A and B are shown apart, each in its own frame.
Chain A
Amino acid sequence: TQLLEQSPQFLSIQEGENLTVYCNSSSVFSSLQWYRQEPGEGPVLLVTVVTGGEVKKLKRLTFQFGDARKDSSLHITAAQPGDTGLYLCAGKGSGNTGKLIFGQGTTLQVKP
């Protein structure tokens, strides 16, 4: 069974601080996705990383895929209150299906 462990589960920081969220597994994934979910809404895709060692940047967000494609991280620089939300990593399961395996999520609160 493929599992993804996300840490930390909760994070409360002040505006302007930096943070990193980790997503780890003992399994290899063909790709990993990061989503952000706001209350009352479905997850919205932020980025997909496919190649081991890949780094992608989305404004103040930096995503990295581990060399062995078993882990990923999300780093936010100078967090802002608008970054508040639930961050989810998800890996595509084996086989050509629409199945995504999600981590438990990291709830981020950025205080002004």
Chain B
Amino acid sequence: KAGVTQTPRYLIKTRGQQVTLSCSPISGHRSVSWYQQTPGQGLQFLFEYFSETQRNKGNFPGRFSGRQFSNSRSEMNVSTLELGDSALYLCASSLLGVQETQYFGPGTRLLVL
């Protein structure tokens, strides 16, 4: 079956803009988690959605938000972009959440100029 897909794969934005990233989980998976990966901080948890509800949130400012649709597809939005938001944004899907294996997508590489 198809893996986790993320679009777009690469994105260049300027400071102050906003961006929306998309994640399509593996068919049948209801949990989608988002992570930010940077060389300095490594992989950090942003939030998890399950059945259209945010179930857990990491320590990121309110500029980072997300949502999940009824078909389990998820989007994350970053408003008022800052240079420090440049990162690889990864989403992972699983059947039910932490008790299941999580499968990661290839990520969206965001560069903020």
Which A residues are closer than 8 A to B by beta carbons? 35, 40-45, 48, 88, 90, 92-93, 95-105
Contacts and interface: CB of A to CB of B under 8 A. Distances in A.
For the complex of A and B, 8 pairs with smallest distance between CB atoms: A42-B104, A98-B48, A102-B43, A97-B56, A98-B33, A104-B42, A98-B97, A98-B31
Given A98-B33, A100-B33, A88 B48 contact: no
Interface of B: 4, 31-33, 35, 42-45, 48, 50, 55-56, 58, 90, 92, 94, 97-99, 101-107
B102 A100 contact: yes
Contacts of B94: 98
B104 A98 contact: no
24 contacts: A35-B104, A40-B106, A41-B106, A41-B107, A42-B4, A42-B104, A42-B107, A43-B43, A43-B90, A45-B102, A48-B101, A97-B97, A98-B32, A98-B50, A98-B56, A98-B97, A99-B45, A99-B56, A99-B58, A100-B33, A101-B45, A102-B42, A103-B42, A105-B43
Given A40-B106, A104-B42, A105-B42, A45 B56 contact: no
A97 B56 CA distance: 7
Contacts of B45: 93, 99-101
Contacts of B31: 98
Nearest to B34: A98
A44 B94 CA distance: 13
B38 to A, nearest CB: 11
Contacts of B106: 40-42
A89 to B, nearest CB: 11
